[in-house]
Amino acid sequence: MAEELTQLKGREFVRKLLKGVRDFSCIELERTFDLSRYENFGRMQEYLRSQNLQNNPVTINGSRFSYLQARGLYLPHLRARGAHLGNANLVNANFRDAQFVNADFRDASLRNANLRDARFENADLRGANLCNANLGSAYLGNADLRGADLRSANLWNAYLGNADLRNANLGSAYLRNSNFEGAFLENADLENANLWNADLRNANLGNANLRNANLWNSDLAHTNLAGVRNLAEALNLKNASFSRTRVTREEKRTIEEALRKRTFFELAD
């Protein structure tokens, strides 16, 4: 049986936080509370910046903060396992190194947010706005990102193994050294994405858009490319790695033509 949540007004949340309370697990914050416009928001931000949140993090495990308005919120190292933040406005927030395992961010806005090193394992990010977000080295294994907007997001060295990115928009995203092994990328838009050294083994890219996607040294072993769009317009296709990659006859011809242009040797004088 789900644990009953304790109701908490927004102003009471701020008051307790400023008094040093750190554990706000299993609470339900006043719905649609506009924290960023609250009179003590600036004071709260200054206070949080002065604290050692890495050693003494704020915790909202299992809590419900749906529809929260908290633009620019400073809460690195937040512990929010199983928290509900659906439809929240968290534009420009700083959640670096936060723990969002099993958290619910459906239709939330995390545009321009700092999510570096954050952990989103099994998180629900369907329809979330992550445009320009910094997800460098973030862990998104098994996360549900269907329909999420990740345009121009930084996912350098991020882990997205078995993540569901169907219909996600990754246009112009920085995906260098990212791991998409076993991920579901059907109908995803990867136009202009940087996939240098990306691990796409066993991923499914059926009907994904690869126009101008940079595939330099990307690993496409056992990847399903059948039905992928604009493969011939992908950049550095000749420098990608293929092994038992699933393709149509047309895609096979496109890849083989690209590989014929690859330079394997440099003659010595």
Round the CA-based radius of gyration of the chain to a whole number and report it.
Answer: 21
Number of H helices, E strands in the chain: 3, 2
Q: Give the CA dihedral 217, 221, 227, 228, nearest 10 degrees.
A: -20
Of 94, 96, 28, 40, residue with least CA distance to 66: 28
Quote the mean pLDDT of the chain.
Answer: 97
Tens of each residue's pLDDT in the chain, 269 residues: 457 999 999 999 999 999 999 999 999 999 989 999 999 999 999 999 999 999 999 999 999 999 999 999 999 999 999 999 999 999 999 999 999 999 999 999 999 999 999 999 999 999 999 999 999 999 999 999 999 999 999 999 999 999 999 999 999 999 999 999 999 999 999 999 999 999 999 999 999 999 999 999 999 999 999 999 999 999 999 999 999 999 999 999 999 999 998 887 788 87
CA gap 213, 229 in Å, rounded: 11
Provide the whole-model pTM.
Answer: 0.95
